[in-house]
Amino acid sequence: MSVSRRTLLTTAAGAAVAVGASTSPATAAVTVAATPDPSDLASATRTLRQAADYAVAKLRAVAPGVTAFPVGTKFEKWTYSQNGDWVGGFWPGQLWLAWLHSGEEQFRTLALASAEKLAPRQNDTGTHDLGFLFYPSWVTAWRLTGDEKWKAGAIQAASSLIKRYNPAGRFIRAWGALDDPKNAGRVIMDTMMNLDLLAFASAQTQDPKYLDIATAHAKTAQRNFLRPDGSSPHVFDFDPATGAPIGPNTVQGYSPTSCWSRGQAWGVYGFTTIHRRTGDAEFLTTARRLADFALSRLTADHVPVWDYLAPQAPNDVKDASAGVIMACGLLDLAELTHRPHYRDSALRILTAVSRTCLTTRSTRAEASVARCTRNRPNEDGVEVSLPYADHYLLEGILRVLDRPKADRAIDLSSV
């Protein structure tokens, strides 16, 4: 009798939980500790400052030898992409955050050199990920240096991104070359995080077309991704010719009806941000519903499982990256809704990751955050480190410890 990979994935997950959170050297010694009460701000602040200092120390040791873009770890060492793949912006992004936190000039120098390597990608019309690539790198470089070349490059990247807009369906297609019919109607939740590059372009050029497309895409995503219970699929497919909705699907989640936790986190952060740029109250409501569902599925350790609705959830492998991404969105939500429980939840997540998911027990590790899962269905990057986890951990901590510094990097203002 043949056994599907999906069946093996599900049964193996239960076995993995039975023997511990991870068998990798970086995380084998990690145990779940009690998460501090966020009302004890002194304790939370101390934990987060120690985590930020650890992340900066790790970058201080590793970054001078990095000449490409980290995409994930193998045996605790970074593997690289020369052109940045979709994650290239997170390396210069976390170097900028390390500079803001530490004031050490070497991080600024390294951030500029790394961002420069992304220059060819500003004309890339084959990906929706130009926001991930250019916001934390080039937009932040412009905000922190004032050099107009970074702003011009980010605007060019936005111009490339809007070429992927499908006016019939009012969405930005996720994957594939513009002349490739495969995936022409495929939309993914991750794209919500690429929309802020378009908002930036409209703000700088006074041309509304970029933000208009971002808003149209967000409304399409809001209408089709959000389920009644506040969960969401990873993918939604449309007929690319007519724009008619076909239905939910997934690539990185367990199934079309499950809820991939990192996608849910992209939604929390992305819908909150597009609300800040437009003032549209419905976007804030959507972000709250996504957040409320995710928070209802967190277990006592406050580190998200890789898919909230997979059969082995909540007793399954973790994805710390989903936690730190969502924490950044929750801090925004707390400010915009004046509901402190979102900030409390963000602090619990950030302190939990800081206490139970860092690589402090390993002498080999080149990253800061362990216990991340890239693509569980493909058994690709399970219990590894990922560059966006390191980036959003630093961003979240900086938002808590020194919000004005975070604002300098990423613009936390609202319309």
- For residue 51, is it within any domain? yes
Phi, psi (5° rounding) for residue 84?
100, -10
CATH number of 322's domain: 1.50.10.10
Asked if 15 and 316 count as a contact pair (C-beta separation under 8 A), the reply is no
- The residue annotated as part of the active site, out of 37, 147, 180, 190, is 190
Average the pLDDT over 14-37 and give the result. Answer: 35
Q: What pLDDT, on the 0 to 100 scale, is given for residue 42?
A: 86
- For residue 323, is it within any domain? yes
Statement: residue 22 has pLDDT above 80: no
- For residue 3, is it within any domain? no
- The residue annotated as part of the active site, out of 129, 280, 307, 332, is 129
- For residue 6, is it within any domain? no
Statement: residue 33 has pLDDT above 90: no
Asked if 116 and 74 count as a contact pair (C-beta separation under 8 A), the reply is no
Q: What pLDDT, on the 0 to 100 scale, is given for residue 241?
A: 98
* Omega prior to 314 cis, within 30 of 0: yes
Nearest-angstrom CA–CA distance, 6 and 102: 45
State the helix-helix crossing angle for 261-278 and 320-337, rounded to 10 degrees: 30
Three-state SS at 130: helix
Statement: residue 52 has pLDDT above 60: yes
- For residue 148, is it within any domain? yes
Q: What pLDDT, on the 0 to 100 scale, is given for residue 6?
A: 38
Phi, psi (5° rounding) for residue 237?
-105, 145
Question: What number of H helices and E strands is found in the chain?
Answer: 15, 9
Q: How confident is residue 28, by pLDDT bands cut at 50, 70 and 90?
A: very low
Average the pLDDT over 354-378 and give the result. Answer: 97
Determine what percent of the chain is predicted with pLDDT higher than 70: 91
**What mean pLDDT, rounded, does the chain reach?**
92
Q: What is the pLDDT of residues 99-115, one digit of tens each?
A: 999 999 999 999 999 99
Q: How many structural domains compose the chain?
A: 1
| The model's pTM | 0.92
Q: How confident is residue 37, by pLDDT bands cut at 50, 70 and 90?
A: low
Statement: residue 30 has pLDDT above 80: no
Statement: residue 209 has pLDDT above 50: yes
- For residue 392, is it within any domain? yes
Q: What pLDDT, on the 0 to 100 scale, is given for residue 141?
A: 98
Active site residue 190: yes
Q: Which two tokens stand for residue 252?
A: 């990185």
Nearest-angstrom CA–CA distance, 176 and 189: 16
Q: How confident is residue 31, by pLDDT bands cut at 50, 70 and 90?
A: very low
Enclosing domain of residue 326 = 16-410
Q: How many CA atoms lie within 13 A of 198 on its CB side?
A: 30
- For residue 345, is it within any domain? yes
Statement: residue 9 has pLDDT above 70: no
Statement: residue 374 has pLDDT above 80: yes
Q: What pLDDT, on the 0 to 100 scale, is given for residue 82?
A: 98
Burial of 152 (0-12, 13-18, 19+ CB in 10 A): middle
Q: Are strands 77-81 and 69-74 parallel, antiparallel or unpaired?
A: antiparallel
Nearest-angstrom CA–CA distance, 54 and 281: 38
Residues, the chain, total?
415
Q: Which two tokens stand for residue 242?
A: 């007519």
Q: What pLDDT, on the 0 to 100 scale, is given for residue 137?
A: 98
- For residue 2, is it within any domain? no
Q: What pLDDT, on the 0 to 100 scale, is given for residue 41?
A: 80
CA-to-CA dists, residue 343 to 35, 165, 325, angstroms:
15, 35, 13
Average the pLDDT over 145-174 and give the result. Answer: 98
Average the pLDDT over 163-167 and give the result. Answer: 98
Average the pLDDT over 341-365 and give the result. Answer: 97
